[in-house]
Structure 1
Amino acid sequence: MTFSKDIKFNLLTADEQERYQKHLTLKEIGNEGQLKLKNSSVLCIGAGGLGSAVLIYLAATGIGKIGIVDNDHVEKSNLQRQIIHETKTIGNLKVDSARERIKKFNPNSEVLTFAERINPNNALEIIREFDIICDCSDNFATRYLINDSCLILNKPLVFGSVQGFEGQVSVFNLNKKSPNLRDLLPESPSKKAVPSCTEYGVVGVSTGLIGIFQVNEIIKIVLKKGETLDGKILVFDLLNMSMKKLHLKRDILNQQINNLSKFADFYDDDDYCSEKNHKIRRINAIDFHNLYKANPNKILLIDVRENEEFSDSRIEGSISIPLSHLDQDFDLEFIKKESLIKEVFTICKSGKRSEKASKILSQFKIQSRSIEGGIEKVKRILSN
């Protein structure tokens, strides 16, 4: 992963002076403020509904470096709200579709793309290269991962969320006294408490509105002007045209996060927006033990924990392919080939990540079984 060397600009080009003319006439922005925007960098995590509005207005505003993280492809059902994409880009990676649109809209913005899902293995490396992080994700696991990464790296986080006609926007971690997502939601809601994307809809304009408000917060943070939503949450109900501002209290205990490995299972605990319902096959530890003892050569056991976890403890004969790498072509080709002669099993610490791994493999027509209870339970049985 490489980034271009940051260059600080002290002049606007003739094109920029004409393009940003209405900014330059504002006393709150002017030439000095526009240069601050040009010299700033913003990472947008998610190129869907929220991300579409955020990315278009970041480019229009004149943000110098824009990063986009998303591993999804454009689908026709996205176009009702994901306005940065077009009918002709259906099937393309969202990061490629978004980059193409931005460069046509404002060629002055540098666009960096990451066609991968943000995960504990890459989050800190990607996030540390940007000044401000904008959360446009669509599930709680990713939101907590982004939040915790920003705490570790001392990055301001602009948060947005939508459902139906409702939306929320806030600013987290702006300074050492700022609240963060864990002050709002100390623990992730359970899947049963949150409807899936197939169970609820979203009106397209709500993602546009919240996305625009996110960019407005970014502008104020860069310019250091006005009052931001630091310590506050703005809640919209577009159906009834009501709006309220709630205050959020900081808890010092929610600031004490210094690494991501401690929460690996937490970040992988949900998959709220999986629109494809792939059935997960499971096997309990005792039944797996019996199969493993009978014929270990006929088993491909994939440990989907991170590499450092695998180094600490492993089951003999297992191979390490972290969940964050499981959708890479090289690994998928290897698993497909092995699955022709072996039965595939997935395992992790507790069984949560392995379920997710088996779901991913099923999307690529690879049958596997997730081992319930995780590696510790299997090791106890194997040692008896």
Structure 2
Amino acid sequence: MNTTARYNRQIILPEIGEDGQDKLSKAKILVIGAGGLGASILPYLAAAGVGEIGIADDDIIEISNLHRQVIYKSSAVGKYKAEEAKSMISELNPLVKVHAIAEKLSGKNAISLFENYDIIVDATDNIAIKYLINDACLITNKPMVYGSIFRFQGQVSVFNYQNGPTYRCLYPDENTQSANCEDAGVIGITVGIIGMLQANEVIKMILEIGEILSGKILVYNILNNDQQKYDFEKNTDIVIIKEVFEEKYKEVKNQVEEISMNEILNEIDNTEVLFLDVRDEDEVPKINFKNVIQIPLLNLENQIEKLNKNQVIYVFCQSGIRSKIAVELLHKNEFKNAKSVIDGALVFNQILREKV
């Protein structure tokens, strides 16, 4: 296959040339997450001729993903994202070696996985996972290309580049909560733009050209096209060593008990149990019956006295992510009978309407 013909339009750029293309072909990039950001990052890295790409994602494709995760077809609903993304890349550029890693990133596998790659790309929408990626990058001395979305705004930065500032330098408070795309809403264009900006940082690092977003965070708003960069400094007091990492991220089995909504429908009229809605007050659909109470997750710790430690509490949110965080908080405060509802309010509302 004529590789020069495939990459000719970028090889003729003086900043790239044959030497630059050779660097791209030897690069090994791991993308964590094959959702909206990943769906934008992956095709551009593959098309540019990055030699080896790992895709780590244990999620399956849902129909609600398709408006922004544009590399997937409707016929792929129900299949693993990592496998489908691999198939897409192989068709786009068969010269690229692709690894589909259909497993959840954890403290158990992160370090051994990261050691096989040059650059780690964060394409997730989960804050806890972002701290895990950051810390594993520090242990393995890998740069982390960060991207994040909130509605019509996105952020991009590069952490731990040549011993530069890290995610913890910018966001030291690990207990900060933020809604993901499923809860807050998102338009595909936002993740598309931010994902391409992340891919751009990867390419610049491989080619050793341009100015890397190290010690800087780029904030882009698609509604008014505002684009701003802010500087931040490295906090030299932050030190992550392997022993601390392993202790922090060791897996705790069955820490949060989960239950499906169908299993507890008969409890709706039972005043001895409580349904706790931890969504924000402006979120819809509204779920109203006599034994439901709403306390937004951000307010839960300050209003925890409203709850009875001896009562069975079923916690739900929009998608089942914040409810797990809420249950962890309740467990820490000795609420032993709190359980996270797997299904979110949308499913709950549909079940209730069908019941009526």
Taking structure 1 as the reference length, the TM-score comes to 0.66
Does residue 120 of structure 1 match 2:107? yes
2:80 corresponding residue in structure 1: 93
Q: Deviations over 1:348-371 (max 9, x none)?
A: 9x957x99xx759x68xxxxxxxx
> How many angstroms apart in 2 are the aligned matches of 1:58 and 1:213?
11
Give unpaired runs (5+ residues) of structure 1: 1-13, 281-347, 364-384
- Indicate the residue corresponding to 1:63 in structure 2: 50
Secondary structure in structure 1 of the residue aligned to 2:148: strand
3-state SS of paired residue (1:84): coil
| Change in 2 beyond 3 A, CA 1:201/1:91 | same
The answer for the alignment partner of 2:190 in structure 1 is 206
What percent identity do the matched residue pairs reach? 40
Residues 1:198 and 1:211: Cα distance change in structure 2 (over 3 Å): closer
Q: 1:184 to 1:359 in 2, by over 3 A?
A: same
* Amino acid corresponding to residue 123 of structure 1 in structure 2: A
**Contact (CA 8 Å) 2:106, 2:249: kept in 1 or not?**
no
Equivalent residues of 2:151, 2:185 under 8 A apart: yes
Aligned to 1:168: 155
Aligned equivalents of 1:278, 1:93: Cα separation in 2: 25
Correspondence list, 1:296-307, <5 A: none
The letter of the residue matching 2:159 is F
How far residue 241 of structure 1 moved from its aligned partner, in angstroms, is 1.0
Shift of 1:203: 1.2
| AA of the residue aligned to 1:242 | D
Whichever residue aligns with residue 27 of structure 1, its letter is P
Q: What CA RMSD, in Å, does the superposition of the two structures yield over aligned residues?
A: 3.1
Give the match's secondary structure for 1:150: helix
- State the match for 1:103 in structure 2: 90
Looking at structure 2, the residues matched to 185 and 79 of structure 1 have their Cα atoms a distance apart, in angstroms, of 31
- SS at 1:244 equivalent: strand
For residues 89 and 97 of structure 1, what CA distance do their matches in structure 2 show?
Answer: 7
**1:261 counterpart residue number:** 246
**2:68 and 2:81 mapped to 1: Cα distance?**
13
Give the partner amino acid of 1:44.
V
In the alignment, is the contact (CA less than 8 A) between 1:234 and 1:245 conserved in 2?
yes
Show the counterpart of 2:211.
227
Q: Deviations over 1:13-45 (max 9, x none)?
A: x42111101111000001010010000000000
Report the counterpart of residue 8 of structure 1 in structure 2.
Answer: none
Structure 2 equivalent of residue 129 of structure 1? 116
Distance 2:216 2:184 in 1: 26
Q: What TM-score, normalized to structure 2?
A: 0.71
Once residues 168 and 102 of structure 2 are traced to their aligned partners in structure 1, the CA distance between those partners, rounded to angstroms, is 27
What is the SS of the residue equivalent to 1:112?
Answer: strand
Structure 2: which 5+ runs fail to align?
A: 265-327, 344-356
Partner of 1:215: 199
Answer whether contact 2:107 2:251 (CA < 8 A) is retained: no
One-letter amino acid of the structure 2 residue matched with residue 81 of structure 1? R
**Residues of 1 paired with 2:262 and 2:221: CA distance?**
34
Instruction: Report the CA distance between 1:80 and its aligned residue.
Output: 0.6
The Cα shift of 1:83 comes to 1.0
